[in-house]
Structure 1
Amino acid sequence: MAVDAPKPPRHKSTKGNAPAAPMPTEPGHTKQAAPGDLVTANFKVDAQFKQDLKMFAAMHKMSMVEVLRQGFALLQADKSKK
Structure 2
Amino acid sequence: MAVEAPKPPRHKSTKGTAPAAPMATEPGHTKQAGPGDLVTANFKVDAQFKQDLKMFAAMHKMSMVDVLRQGFALLKEAKAGK
Name the TM-score, length of structure 1 as normaliser: 0.75
Paired position in structure 1 for 2:79:
79
Paired position in structure 2 for 1:50:
50
Larger radius of gyration: 2
Q: Judging changes above 3 Å, is the alpha-carbon distance between structure 1 residues 24 and 65 closer, same or farther for their aligned structure 2 residues?
A: same
1:8-67 Cα offsets, whole Å, 9 max, x none, are: xxx9247xx975431212111110111011111111111110000000000000000000
**Which amino acid in the other structure matches residue 39 of structure 2?**
V
Q: What is the aligned-residue identity percentage? A: 81
**Which amino acid in the other structure matches residue 38 of structure 1?**
L
Q: Judging changes above 3 Å, is the alpha-carbon distance between structure 1 residues 47 and 18 closer, same or farther for their aligned structure 2 residues?
A: farther
Q: How does 1:1-80 map to 2 (within 5 A)?
A: 12-13=14-15, 19-80=19-80
Q: Judging changes above 3 Å, is the alpha-carbon distance between structure 1 residues 76 and 18 closer, same or farther for their aligned structure 2 residues?
A: farther
Name the TM-score, length of structure 2 as normaliser: 0.75
State the superposition RMSD in angstroms.
2.0
In the alignment, the residues of structure 1 paired with residue 76 and residue 59 of structure 2 have an alpha-carbon distance, to the nearest angstrom, of: 24
Which runs of no fewer than 5 residues in structure 2 stay unpaired? 1-12
In the alignment, the residues of structure 2 paired with residue 48 and residue 18 of structure 1 have an alpha-carbon distance, to the nearest angstrom, of: 40
